[in-house]
Amino acid sequence: MSAQSASPRYPAPKSTIDPDQSRSWLRRALPVVLAHRWLLLTSLSLSLVGLLVQVQIPNVMRLGIDDALIARTASLTGYVWWLAGLAVASGVVNYLARRYLLRTAYEIEYDLRNIMYSHLIRMPFGFYDRVQTGELMSRSSSDIRAVQMYLAFGPSILVQCLIAVFAFALMVSIDPLLAVVAMATMPVIALLGVWMRKAIFPVSWLIQSRLAQVATVVDENINGVRIVKAFAGEQRQVTLLASAADRVRWAYRRDAWIRSRWSPTLENLPRLGLALVLLCGGWMVIEGRTSVGAIVAFNSYVLMLQPPFRMLGMMIMMGQRAAASAQRIYEVLDTRSEITERADPLRTRIRGEVEFDGVEFAYPDGTVALRGLDLRIPVGTTVAVVGRTGSGKSTVGRLLARYYDTTAGAVRVDGRDVREYALDSLRDQIGIVPDEPFLFSLSIRDNIAFGRPDADLADVVAAAEAAGADGFVRALPEGYDTVIGERGYTLSGGQRQRVAIARALLVNPPVLVLDDATSAVDVHVEQRIHAALRDLLQNRTTIIVAHRLSTIALADTVVLIDDGRVAAQGTHEELLAAEPRYQDVLATMHSRAAEVDEQVAA
């Protein structure tokens, strides 16, 4: 069995982001959090229990000092045991709370990643024409993490902050006046937190978008490393990265500057509370209005308030980043696919009659590719599409498999508009082999079986034989199990094309589009592929974007496309005799084919 079909099934996300864009980012993310409410509630309840235990400690301490040390009305040992018991209980409960909290965090992260990826995979080609890979990578990694941290840790920090309420209640029960003094600095902290929030928000956004720019530069340089080296552009690209990195550094420095101005104040204000407690508490002890134990207990409470308030500051900062990151994630999730299916799409097996009826098409950036293309291809025939570069040849195949929708006119298969078919069914039955195929870092066998992961080895080999790939695959160290490098770079361009042809043939689609699919193989290999293909192309509607006369010879008819329209149609001989533009195109093809042969030979 192939590696792909053996892969286990993973649970789908339990919920998704609320699509209502008028809601706040947090409201929109709520369904994802609520999907794990039991885990989160368990963790929060445990935190709460932990707090209740923790908050008792200073009170027991106060009683110990006042009763056992000062008044000597009780034994010290009892209080010591009490304190030790409370410490152990608080440790155990906090450990459990943290475990559940981390689990919640990673469950939320898992869901967010899957929501993002399943959205991305459904986006049409037009979306990928517009966006940059690095930008998407950063949105699917660091932005998701920032949101996850806030969603899972935010509620827990809020619960931790409840310690202020408990501590205040206990302090009021001991001495109301001293309680007010101890808490005097807290409103100032809250106010400073709000100011800091305002100052940091724009910088957080800037950091995220600049990190994405760095990711884009890195991604392009890794993918385009051969071009960079070929044109000795290393220094220029390093400078480009340095400038992107410098922009990140500037944003981080600005962020650090704002934080360093606010954070120490936020953290240290509660300590000022200690001095106030000693001043007022000391005076009250002297006056006989409170006990020494109360001052010790109040000191502990004020100290106990520090970590949650520090965390509150952290949470405010996390909130800034999370809000900025969530907006960036939502920008992607809110982009709807313009390629939609109708309510009850067709899933029939197609015969393969293809028709382009007055098709006009412009790419999302406005480039007009087809300007009223009329073409009918009967079932089982092979058509060679030729034309000058940029005339719209490749666009024909892309519209047929509905990578894009036409701007005007219709593309029909078996007389039905392609928009009536279920997308997966349509694409399953229209195999497209592009001129620069993408291969995955998997074994050759898994690459060929990509469209039919359950195919057995005999079928894979048969497809490879037809595509002229079997010979070189068997010569590889591990044959069909050889794992090809990233993007298949350990294979030559022509070898990759042959693996891609095998991949399309294995699915056995009734309609096949070979888009310059043999442009990188030499003429002899191409003839062998053609000989094998000739049988396979019978009874299969085939569109070949041709770049060589030998490829044209495979076809029943030739269609000359010029400026997005069919300029002429007929047999090779008919066009040669009657169409000067065809002769021009052939002349260009000739010199290009000779170049390829020279390159392959070299």
Ligand X SMILES: Nc1ncnc2c1ncn2[C@@H]1O[C@H](COP(=O)(O)OP(=O)(O)OP(=O)(O)O)[C@@H](O)[C@H]1O
Cα–Cα nearest to 155, from 34, 52, 55, 269: 34
Q: Which of residues 386-405 bind ligand X (CB under 6 A)?
A: 387, 389-395
What are the C-alpha distances in Å from 31 to residues 28, 133, 401?
A: 7, 28, 35
Distance of closest approach, residue 515 Cβ to ligand X, in angstroms? 7
Closer by beta carbon to ligand X, 498 or else 547: 547
367 binds ligand X per the rule CB under 6 A? yes
Distance of closest approach, residue 566 Cβ to ligand X, in angstroms? 13
Token pair listed for 542: 């085939």
Contacts of 70 by beta carbon, 8 Å cutoff, 6+ apart: 291, 292, 293
Token pair listed for 381: 């025939």
Distance of closest approach, residue 394 Cβ to ligand X, in angstroms? 3
Stretch that binds ligand X, among 66-74, 91-99, 384-392, 536-544 (CB under 6 A): 384-392
Helix (H), strand (E) at residue 105: helix 76-122
Pick one of 170, 304, 369, 502: the residue that binds ligand X (CB under 6 A).
Answer: 369
Closer by beta carbon to ligand X, 126 or else 202: 126
Contacts of 309 by beta carbon, 8 Å cutoff, 6+ apart: 161, 164, 186, 189, 266, 267, 270
- Binding marks (x or -) toward ligand X, 327..366, rule CB under 6 A? ------------------------------------x-x-
Residue with tokens 């299916």: 341
Angle at 82 between CA 79 and CA 84, to 5 degrees: 110
The H-assigned helical ranges of 443-489 are: 444-448, 457-466, 470-475
Closer by beta carbon to ligand X, 288 or else 366: 366
Closer by beta carbon to ligand X, 393 or else 419: 393
Cα 376 from Cα 416, distance rounded (Å): 13
Token pair listed for 139: 């949105």
Cα 160 from Cα 477, distance rounded (Å): 60
Do residues 296 and 61 touch, judged by C-beta distance below 8 A?
A: yes
447 binds ligand X per the rule CB under 6 A? no
Cα 183 from Cα 301, distance rounded (Å): 10
Query: Chain centroid to CA 395: how far?
Result: 27
Closer by beta carbon to ligand X, 196 or else 385: 385
Do residues 146 and 323 touch, judged by C-beta distance below 8 A?
A: no
Distance of closest approach, residue 365 Cβ to ligand X, in angstroms? 5
**CA atoms within a 13 Å half-sphere pointing along the CA-CB vector of 443:** 18
Cα 488 from Cα 241, distance rounded (Å): 26
| Long-range pairs of 122-128 with CB within 8 A, sequence gap ≥ 24 | 122/337, 123/335, 123/337, 124/337, 124/338, 124/339, 124/403, 124/404, 125/398, 125/403, 125/404, 126/338, 126/363, 126/364, 126/404, 127/335, 127/337
Strand partners, 561: 387, 566
Closer by beta carbon to ligand X, 393 or else 530: 393
Distance of closest approach, residue 364 Cβ to ligand X, in angstroms? 7
Q: Cβ of 230: how many Cβ atoms within 10 Å?
A: 9
Closer by beta carbon to ligand X, 133 or else 367: 367
Closer by beta carbon to ligand X, 64 or else 387: 387
Closer by beta carbon to ligand X, 129 or else 584: 129
Supply φ then ψ for residue 360, to 5 degrees: -115, 145
Distance of closest approach, residue 210 Cβ to ligand X, in angstroms? 27
Distance of closest approach, residue 546 Cβ to ligand X, in angstroms? 10
Token pair listed for 585: 């195109």
Stretch that binds ligand X, among 164-172, 190-198, 385-393, 524-532 (CB under 6 A): 385-393
Closer by beta carbon to ligand X, 237 or else 391: 391
Closer by beta carbon to ligand X, 237 or else 395: 395
Count of residues in contact with ligand X, rule CB under 6 A: 13
Q: Which of residues 266-295 bind ligand X (CB under 6 A)?
A: none
518 binds ligand X per the rule CB under 6 A? no
Distance of closest approach, residue 423 Cβ to ligand X, in angstroms? 19
Distance of closest approach, residue 237 Cβ to ligand X, in angstroms? 24
- Binding marks (x or -) toward ligand X, 402..441, rule CB under 6 A? ----------------------------------------
Closer by beta carbon to ligand X, 37 or else 130: 130
Distance of closest approach, residue 391 Cβ to ligand X, in angstroms? 4
Helix (H), strand (E) at residue 409: strand 408-413
Q: Which of residues 107-136 bind ligand X (CB under 6 A)?
A: 129
Closer by beta carbon to ligand X, 268 or else 367: 367
Cα 394 from Cα 57, distance rounded (Å): 75
Q: How are strands ordered across the β-sheet holding 408-413?
A: 368-377, 354-362, 408-413, 416-417
Do residues 74 and 67 touch, judged by C-beta distance below 8 A?
A: yes
Q: Give residues in contact with ligand X (CB under 6 A).
A: 129, 363, 365, 367, 369, 387, 389-395
